[in-house]
Structure 1
């Protein structure tokens, strides 16, 4: 992947950071996007210290002007976008559907659905002009099979899968591939915050996901699939919804 230009949202931690490091090791130039400037710049610093090529831009993926800005920043700096890892997302506070606060529902949808939509909207324009590109969206095992007490989150990830399939169908003739990964439990700062969320809410779901392998995935294990979908090795794949969940959705 030498000299491929890659945009990664949510690059400051977890799957985003692990994927940025792995793609940089493969020779790609990384445009790291994150709402958190400190962690985003840390990712870039790690890559550059290892001899890679990475730049950071702070952005809120749910704000259209910010999305336009990170897309323009990538093209102005490197001239093209070869890979887009549309990864940024948030979890939902656990609660039954009727108890979900409307503000919480809107927050989840703004980031997980609108953020993915906007990223697709503006990156696809660039890739269409190029006649090539690979996009990987981060959905979730909850987009394949709902989990208890996460109706808003599950709905948002089902929507990501719908956007993925629609984009794959519409842009396949333009040389653009669009696929989605569906992680299950992953050891990230996002999932590490779950115990605190449960404590603060005072609510425990009646069911928890069954981690059939007996453990969460490491971010690096998910990043391996991102690297595969970004590379030429997956050239005949588009519209694929790939569970990387340790058998959670069996």
Structure 2
């Protein structure tokens, strides 16, 4: 049985001593030795019949010059592993395989928390409390799942009461109905975090609407104001109330979703473009004020993610009611990315949010992380000049 709060370290002297199923996960690699770190949640145990066959290896890790008691250095690479059930549900266990050569047998006498590169590689947000507005679907939902997988306690704040509670239950989180255009709703979401876990570490202000399309000469100002209530005032509400909670703890990460439309003209409607560029200015100015409290404020600007918002816009533009995310992604990959054939996914943006939310981004603030495959940075139509 493996039990307890701390990671149990096992030295596996050869590829033949690892379980058959895990050996299959690294099949084909030139392995000299394995070192496996298995985090076990509080008050839980893992028996020998734990479903190791339900394993998926993800995300290679560069793990160079790792130091342990009794071993001067381990150099090599590794992979982060997660467990999934036959139904496709993620289990709250992570596993890190480190593949490399050790100088001599380590003597594990200290807490594995002292070796964050290995022990915590799959738990970047362990114990942190996060609110995600617009978290019931799309980018928000992908981020909620990833945050939870990395150890965060997640509150999904959305108006989609049919989707939010189910997702929250699946990640052991909480759901609250929240129209970000109403300040009291956002304040209630922050109060929920404080009542539930006593702190707020991460605010991902992600909720937004597309707003009106068409010529500036025919812009419906009432619809424009509705958009500004959500896309701009909603961001102000999120930063305001998150900052109040985070100032008490002297640290925190606030992330605002902007857009490639804030970087480059012609990618979205006038109203939407205006609102997303305003978010960049808001993030920079609030980062100036809140930095003294250890609070970081950053933006993410996605491009070409086949979300419901973008798919709906493409359906209207092309007049194809049956156009789906796959087709939209294909179009973006062919015409809207330097990485030809590759479009952005929800998970790409979620990974960006995970980085900015984590301590790995501890010296990054007032920054706009553009997730666009290089589209807004370069002009590739004349790539023939490189031939």
- The alignment's TM-score, normalised by the length of structure 2, stands at 0.59
Structure number having the greater helix percentage: 1
**1:241 equivalent in structure 2:** 368
Rg comparison, structure with higher value:
2
**2:296 equivalent in structure 1:** 177
**By how many angstroms is 1:148 displaced?**
5.2
**1:150 equivalent in structure 2:** 269
The one-character-per-residue Cα deviations of 1:212-243 (angstroms, maximum 9, x if unpaired) are 23453110011011000010111110000111
- Unaligned runs of 5+ residues in structure 2 are 1-124, 321-330, 378-387
Stretch moving more, 35-44 or 226-235: 35-44
- Unaligned runs of 5+ residues in structure 1 are 48-52, 201-207
Please say if residues 93 and 197 of structure 1, whose CA atoms lie closer than 8 Å, have aligned partners that are also in contact: no
Check if 1:19 corresponds to 2:146.
Answer: no
Which residues of 2 match residues 87-166 of structure 1 at below 5 A? Answer: 87-147=206-266, 150-166=269-285
**By how many angstroms is 1:193 displaced?**
1.4
Please say if residues 11 and 17 of structure 1, whose CA atoms lie closer than 8 Å, have aligned partners that are also in contact: yes
Partner Cα separation in structure 2 for residue 120 and residue 72 of structure 1: 14
Structure number having the greater strand percentage: 2
**By how many angstroms is 1:78 displaced?**
1.0
**1:37 equivalent in structure 2:** 161
Partner Cα separation in structure 2 for residue 154 and residue 56 of structure 1: 30
Structure with higher RCO (Cα < 8 A, 6+ apart): 1
Q: Which runs of 4+ in 1 moved over 6 A?
A: none
- Give 3-state SS (helix, strand or coil) of 1:238's partner: coil
What is the count of residue pairs matched by the alignment? 238
Partner Cα separation in structure 2 for residue 40 and residue 176 of structure 1: 28
Please say if residues 260 and 267 of structure 2, whose CA atoms lie closer than 8 Å, have aligned partners that are also in contact: no
Partner Cα separation in structure 1 for residue 268 and residue 255 of structure 2: 27
Check if 1:83 corresponds to 2:202.
Answer: yes
Partner Cα separation in structure 2 for residue 145 and residue 173 of structure 1: 32
Partner Cα separation in structure 2 for residue 245 and residue 181 of structure 1: 10
Paired residue for 1:28, among 128, 131, 152?
Answer: 152
Partner Cα separation in structure 1 for residue 358 and residue 220 of structure 2: 41
The one-character-per-residue Cα deviations of 1:97-137 (angstroms, maximum 9, x if unpaired) are 22221122112111100000011111101111111101111
- The alignment's TM-score, normalised by the length of structure 1, stands at 0.90
Partner Cα separation in structure 1 for residue 343 and residue 182 of structure 2: 31
